[in-house]
Structure 1
């Protein structure tokens, strides 16, 4: 795939869900009733669609499921938020029709996907862009400034107290308590962990000597919990604790860090996360409709927040039946549409896909087919 930058336009063009003319080829948070502007449109479909994966997508997925079911009374989307690794495994072994994953398929996983997904295998379609918060429970402190090296040392257990000189030097005027730091990480195979460790290994390589991975390094200590909601609850209940988690799940009781980018500190926001994705490039060597993105974790652009995840829906290019292909295409067409992206932004504070990326995602969805 040609390594051109994904552009970003603040205004998202309206995309209607296209006609489902197909041919051949093989939660963390609840939402309210869908707003009219966020409902799914297009030809009606029926059946049950099963997905497994990302807990970071939980709030967005709840909105997508509710809105899609409202528009298609005969259709149900079941989603089990078991983590990104579990989601990719489920697609590869054929036990689910799609996965939610905060990490794109590796080359080895793409090769394996051809067993269940036909000769063209599976593809990664971006559906959800969100910043990863470095969130902490420090009494009377809601905002801190941290650089990558300090964050890495905190999570490696090399900085163990909140009034450490390295933290104090970046936070003049903030009263830092003499309080033990308790790092909290995911116990499950997590795309959020993959993205967070990818940031640390790129931005603080002299400290974070482990490779990026979905599983937290076994050699490191700290508390752990399963899923986004699990780690956020642990930090909320533990004074002095700190965690990396999808911003949509961080409660108002926790503080969040500004991250140093270049010579400035960048506050966490959907817009800054979207800018970081704009600076990314397509992963080389992928098929035209595989939209995996390589993020630039070391950017010096102070309008970008580099601790970001792009969460994907991993789908087959080929399904066994036309009915399954139609159902997958209908749901995914809604998810990447303007209405679907607005629903996710309302439910999860996520950044809508840019117009350019949205158009690429819709084309990828349209390429899904059924066996001849």
Structure 2
């Protein structure tokens, strides 16, 4: 059974159970109880929403949308995975009702000030996936990682990589670096991590796009980077955990702030989330977090929603769907390799959503 079918069946069961409970009791305030179900309020909703943006959370959003067909058959939501940069531009131009982004809004994104609220949804590891014949376990420190992606280290048996991997026989294979071709929140978070963890070595800056060396390869969305890595022996790239697992690629253990090499897992991502400071606008940064168990390249993702919609019906639909993402959606997050928000942050996200009118 494939992942989509399995998770849809699991999620459908959760939604049906939630509907049954909603019919038996009116206790509980969904606005203050972060575990409260949204399914009961969706069953009678009719309408359509369009959204676009980040590919990093795309698997999760598509699974939630798929499950929505069972909970609310007359409520249609489409999410077009085009990257954070393009999604922000479409949102700013009024082409979509809400947008997904893994990076915060900048002046150059075309999103007017005051036209959006951040709603955090889930988080996940950004893996450093690779394709290297004969090597199924790899460790990389942030300094070595920065040198690989800047192309100052160009072969797999370089002294820097060997020092991170004592006892491992590394081939003299040339390294091929793959990165995103589109404006990407995954790129933003990966480069922000390198800037924080290897400040004396990382020279390319950070952002949705950076000036990668000319001898690197570019792929559209996380899936495009995965395809490039899978296609070439010696390739390496940064990819969200869900797409890296789907591609069957191995990924490196990354040396965290406490000096431990940690593989990308949901447990490591959850540990990173626990120590992240949340700003008043609900943006937060779990990158390079302290803690022996933390996976250091853990990234957040957000939905951009309007504080006020011209159409009251549209506001109702947006609030209903996003609440569903934050509540019932938790049931399938781990199944598709995403970490749920800490309870306190989830409650703040629901309170932020209540501001929408």
- Normalising by structure 2, what TM-score? 0.87
2:150, 2:212 within 8 Å by CA — same for their partners in 1?
A: no
Indicate yes or no: 2:291 matched with 1:301: yes
Q: How do residues 194-343 of structure 1 correspond to structure 2 at under 5 angstroms?
A: 194-251=188-245, 253-261=248-256, 262-283=258-279, 286=280, 290-297=281-288, 299-337=289-327, 339-343=328-332
Q: How do residues 103-118 of structure 1 correspond to structure 2 at under 5 angstroms?
A: 103-106=103-106, 112-114=112-114
Equivalence for 2:79: 79
Q: How do residues 60-79 of structure 1 correspond to structure 2 at under 5 angstroms?
A: 60-79=60-79
More helix by share: 2
Equivalence for 1:9: none
Structure 1 unaligned segments of length 5 or more: list them. 1-28, 115-120
Equivalence for 1:59: 59
Distance across 2 between alignment mates of 1:131 and 1:255: 14
Which of 328, 331, 350 aligns to 1:362? It is: 350
1:142, 1:254 within 8 Å by CA — same for their partners in 2?
A: no
Which of 161, 165, 183 aligns to 1:167? It is: 161
- Give secondary structure in 2 for the equivalent of 1:89: helix
Distance across 1 between alignment mates of 2:308 and 2:45: 18
Relative to structure 1, the CA distance from residue 31 to residue 201 in structure 2 (aligned partners, 3 Å threshold; closer, same or farther) is farther
Distance across 1 between alignment mates of 2:107 and 2:271: 26
- Cα RMSD after superposing both structures: 1.9
Higher relative contact order (CA 8 A, sep 6+): 1
Equivalence for 1:345: 334
Which range moves more in the overlay, 81-90 or 260-269? 260-269
Which of 117, 133, 136 aligns to 1:123? It is: 117
**CA apart distance, 1:230:** 0.7
Instruction: Output one character per residue of 1:168-222: Cα deviation in whole Å (capped at 9) or x when no partner.
Output: 1221222211111000000000000000000001111122123211013144531
Equivalence for 1:193: 187
1:45, 1:326 within 8 Å by CA — same for their partners in 2?
A: no
Structure 2 unaligned segments of length 5 or more: list them. 16-37
Q: How do residues 27-46 of structure 1 correspond to structure 2 at under 5 angstroms?
A: 30-32=4-6, 33-35=8-10, 36-39=12-15, 41-43=39-41, 44-46=44-46
Relative to structure 1, the CA distance from residue 88 to residue 349 in structure 2 (aligned partners, 3 Å threshold; closer, same or farther) is same
Instruction: Output one character per residue of 1:281-318: Cα deviation in whole Å (capped at 9) or x when no partner.
Output: 123xx4xxx31113352x44111112111011111111
**CA apart distance, 1:87:** 1.1
Relative to structure 1, the CA distance from residue 70 to residue 113 in structure 2 (aligned partners, 3 Å threshold; closer, same or farther) is farther
How many residues are paired up? 327
Relative to structure 1, the CA distance from residue 37 to residue 363 in structure 2 (aligned partners, 3 Å threshold; closer, same or farther) is farther
- Normalising by structure 1, what TM-score? 0.83
Distance across 2 between alignment mates of 1:215 and 1:109: 12
Relative to structure 1, the CA distance from residue 98 to residue 231 in structure 2 (aligned partners, 3 Å threshold; closer, same or farther) is same
Relative to structure 1, the CA distance from residue 315 to residue 184 in structure 2 (aligned partners, 3 Å threshold; closer, same or farther) is same
Distance across 2 between alignment mates of 1:31 and 1:56: 20
**CA apart distance, 1:108:** 7.2
Which range moves more in the overlay, 31-40 or 351-360? 31-40
2:91, 2:98 within 8 Å by CA — same for their partners in 1?
A: yes
Q: How do residues 130-149 of structure 1 correspond to structure 2 at under 5 angstroms?
A: 130-149=124-143
